[in-house]
Amino acid sequence: MEKKVEVSILWEIYGKLLTEKQYEFIEDYYNNDLSLSEIAENNEITRQAVRDIIKKGEKKLFEYEEKLGIMKRTLNQEKKIEKVLLELTKIQQDYSDKEIANVLEHIKKELNYLV
């Protein structure tokens, strides 16, 4: 997974555990596509200070994920749900019983809601 995407997901999960500045700077850098210079200018600090705050925040996010594993479990769960949906679609296509088709359609809708 690309680092930018990974950090954004981790920020969504664990961001509120960061300091206010780490939270804001990571949001600006990864989610709002601001450069280090733009963030520095907006906050009247040096570019290096912004970089340091972001790096410390990133490190914390990866530490939280290493200990808690929420992102990994969520991604694995989504993969499993997608596999189940694929199998349900195959069953639905192979059998023409309307009652079974309706039940399977309901299950697929519920699983899609989880993804």
Question: Residues of the chain with pLDDT > 90: what percent?
Answer: 64
The single-letter DSSP state of residue 44 is: T
Q: Tell me the two tokens of residue 75.
A: 């991604």
7 alpha-carbon distance from chain centroid: 8
The CATH-assigned architecture of domain 3-68 is: Orthogonal Bundle (1.10)
**Residue entry with tokens 């990994």:** 72
Alpha carbon distances (Å) from 13 to 7, 42, 69, 95, 115 = 10, 26, 10, 41, 16
Evaluate whether 72 touches 45 at the Cβ level (below 8 Å): no
More confident residue, 98 or 17: 17
Please, which pLDDT band fits residue 89 given cuts at 50, 70 and 90?
confident
Please, which pLDDT band fits residue 44 given cuts at 50, 70 and 90?
very high
For the chain, the average pLDDT equals 91
